[in-house]
């Protein structure tokens, strides 16, 4: 059985680590209290990336975020991928590991995207079996992240918050609440983001994520938001974070900025804003 007593992330602001920010993080990381890495960038055998990660892990709690397990895929999990992930987690001993409620593989093909799933009983059983396998292999709890959605499946019989709640109940996993994903999905699918967070099992949330999105129009001229992680967090998403934190209490809050990566002062300013949001809850 996996250990649920492992160390946790602090209830403070974190950022997604990018190598160009290494020197700034070593010199003066404030207000950043933890870092996230993408697992697939650190599954090699050595070199500068792993050396830098070892040095950072001595100063910061690290969250490992996977993007390639294809938790929702119809086929079995890739045993080689899972073994490399175990090797990384064994030596790094991260404070958190997370993956996505999505699929990205079909037969032997890997699709460079996180694709949506219908929320049905069959899907639920498959995802739970995959999560059980991951947690037993890694010997640690994992967190499962809510997706950003651009369509809904007519065959779905579960609301997404209830689906995630049931996964957590059956497997003992935790949840990762991406507030920007909620806002993107709400805009694209036409529901109130506040209703989603009110229905979400906040007691199971181990991390909260924030990121930037791009605005577009669909083929009918309606607003379409794209979860790009390529700009600052939008004001309505900050407002949704405030509402969520008032209900959940303080949580580890991550700023994700993965494309068009800014200089350190720009990213640090977003972390300062997350710190202020957390301080409001504590006050």
146-195 pLDDT per residue, tens: 999 888 889 999 999 999 999 999 999 999 999 999 999 999 999 999 99
Alpha carbon distance 25, 10 (integer Å): 17
Q: Where are the domains of the chain?
A: 13-282
Q: How far is CA 270 from CA 35, 38, 223, 253, 267, in A?
A: 14, 20, 25, 11, 5
| CA angle, 125 then 126 then 129, to 5° | 85
- pLDDT score for 7: 64
pLDDT digits (tens, 9 = 90+) for 221-266: 888 899 999 999 999 999 999 999 999 999 999 999 999 999 999 9
Give 99-121 as a DSSP string: EESSEEEETTEEEEEEE-----H
Checking 17-21 for CB contacts under 8 A at 24+ apart, the result is 17/56, 18/257, 18/261, 19/49, 19/52, 20/261, 20/264, 21/264, 21/267
Question: What is the three-class DSSP state of 258?
Answer: coil
| CA angle, 156 then 157 then 160, to 5° | 75
Do residues 241 and 277 touch, judged by C-beta distance below 8 A? yes
- Return the percentage of the chain with pLDDT > 70, whole number: 93
- pLDDT score for 228: 93
Report whether the peptide linkage leading into residue 103 is cis, meaning its omega lies within 30 degrees of zero: no
CATH architecture, range 13-282: Alpha-Beta Barrel (3.20)
- pLDDT score for 2: 58
Alpha carbon distance 227, 239 (integer Å): 17
Which of 39-48, 73-82, 123-132, 142-151 has the highest average model confidence (pLDDT)?
123-132
Cβ density class 31-41: b for 16+ within 10 Å, e for less = bbbbbbbebbe
The structure tokens 């990381």 sit at 29
pLDDT digits (tens, 9 = 90+) for 83-131: 999 999 999 999 999 999 986 644 444 444 566 899 999 999 999 999 9
pLDDT band, residue 283 (cuts 50/70/90): confident
DSSP β-bridge partners for residue 23: none
């Amino acid at each position: 059985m996996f250990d649920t007593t492992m160390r946790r992330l602090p209830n403070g602001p974190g950022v997604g680590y990018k190598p160009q920010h290494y020197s700034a993080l070593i010199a003066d990381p404030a207000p950043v209290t933890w870092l996230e890495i993408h697992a697939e960038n650190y599954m090699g055998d050595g070199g500068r990336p792993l050396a830098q990660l070892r040095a950072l892990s001595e100063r910061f709690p690290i969250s490992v975020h996977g993007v390639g397990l294809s938790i929702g895929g119809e086929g079995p999990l890739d045993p080689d991928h899972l073994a490399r992930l175990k090797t990384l987690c064994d030596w790094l001993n991260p404070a958190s590991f997370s993956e996505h409620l999505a699929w990205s593989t079909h037969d032997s093909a890997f699709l460079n995207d996180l694709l949506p799933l219908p929320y049905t009983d069959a899907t639920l059983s498959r995802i739970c079996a995959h999560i059980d396998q991951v947690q037993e292999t890694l010997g640690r709890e994992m967190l499962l992240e809510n997706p950003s959605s651009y369509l809904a499946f007519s065959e779905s019989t579960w609301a997404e918050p209830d689906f995630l709640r049931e996964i957590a109940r059956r497997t003992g996993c935790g949840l990762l609440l991406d507030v920007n994903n909620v806002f993107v999905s709400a805009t694209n699918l036409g529901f109130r983001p506040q209703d989603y967070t009110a229905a979400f099992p906040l007691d199971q949330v181990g991390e909260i994520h924030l990121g930037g999105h791009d605005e577009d129009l669909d083929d009918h001229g309606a607003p379409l938001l794209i979860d790009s992680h390529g700009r600052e967090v939008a004001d309505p998403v900050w407002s949704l974070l405030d509402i969520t934190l008032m209900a959940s209490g303080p949580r580890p809050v991550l700023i994700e900025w993965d494309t068009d990566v800014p200089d350190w002062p720009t990213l640090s300013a977003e972390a300062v804003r997350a710190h202020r949001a957390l301080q409001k809850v504590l006050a």
